[in-house]
Amino acid sequence: VIDIRSLLKETGAFTFDPGFTSTASCESKITFIDGDEGQLYYRGYPIEQLAEDSDYLETCYLLLYGELPTKQQSEEFVNTITKHTMVHEQLTWFFRGFRRDAHPMAMMTGVVGALAAFYQDSLDINNQDHRRVAEYRMISKIPTIAAMCYRYSTGAPFVYPRNDLSYTANFMHMMFSTPCEEYTPNPVLVKALDRIFILHADHEQNASTFTVRLAGSSGTNPFAAIAAGIACLWGPAHGGANEAVLKMLDEIGSVENVPAFMQGVKDRTHRLMGFGHRVYKNMDPRAKIMKQTCDEVLKELGLENDPKFKLAMELEQIALNDPYFVERKLYPNVDFYSGIVLSALGIPVSMFTVIFALARTVGWISHWHEMIADPLYKIGRPRQLYTGSPRRDYIPEDKR
Ligand code: ACO
Annotated catalytic, 173? no
Annotated catalytic, 277? yes
Share of the chain above pLDDT 90, in %: 70
How far apart CA 325 and CA 323 sit, in angstroms, is 5
Nearest atom in ligand 1 to 207's CA: 50
ipTM for the predicted complex comes to 0.92
Q: Which among 198, 233, 266, 271 is the best mutation to test ligand 1's pocket, defined by most ligand atoms within 8 Å of the CB?
A: 271
Helix (H, G, I), strand (E, B) or coil at 41: strand
C-beta separation of 95 from 144 below 8 A: no
Tell me the Cα Rg of the chain. 22
Report the side by side order of strands in the sheet with 39-42: 31-34, 39-42, 45-46
For residue 329 and ligand 1, the question of a CB distance below 6 A is answered with no
Beta carbons within 10 angstroms of residue 250's beta carbon: 11
Residue 271 Cα to ligand 1 middle (Å) = 8
pLDDT exceeds cutoff 90 at 190: yes
Q: What is the pLDDT of residue 5?
A: 67
Considering only CA atoms, which residue is closest to atom 14 of ligand 1? Answer: 328
Residue 274 Cα to ligand 1 middle (Å) = 9
The residues, any chain, with a CB within 8 Å of residue 16's CB and separated by 6 or more, are 385
Q: Which of 238, 295, 306, 322 is catalytic?
A: 238
H or E element, residue 167 = helix 167-176
Residue 384 Cα to ligand 1 middle (Å) = 24
How far apart CA 362 and CA 200 sit, in angstroms, is 10
Q: What is the pLDDT of residue 45?
A: 98
Question: Which whole-number Å values give the CA distances from 111 to 5, 202, 362, in the listed order?
Answer: 38, 22, 17
Residue 37 Cα to ligand 1 middle (Å) = 18
Top-confidence residue, 120 or 42: 42
Beta carbons within 10 angstroms of residue 56's beta carbon: 25
Q: Is 181 exposed, middle or buried (0-12, 13-18, 19+ CB in 10 A)?
A: exposed
Q: Which among 330, 337, 364 is the best mutation to test ligand 1's pocket, defined by most ligand atoms within 8 Å of the CB?
A: 330
Mean pLDDT to the nearest integer, 88-115: 93
Annotated catalytic, 238? yes
Q: What is the pLDDT of residues 124-178, one digit of tens each?
A: 888 888 889 899 999 999 999 999 999 999 999 999 999 999 999 999 999 999 8
Q: What is the pLDDT of residues 307-334, one digit of tens each?
A: 888 898 889 899 989 999 999 999 999 8
For residue 241 and ligand 1, the question of a CB distance below 6 A is answered with yes
For residue 328 and ligand 1, the question of a CB distance below 6 A is answered with yes
For residue 237 and ligand 1, the question of a CB distance below 6 A is answered with yes
Residue type, 24: A
Q: Which of 277, 284, 367, 369 is catalytic?
A: 277
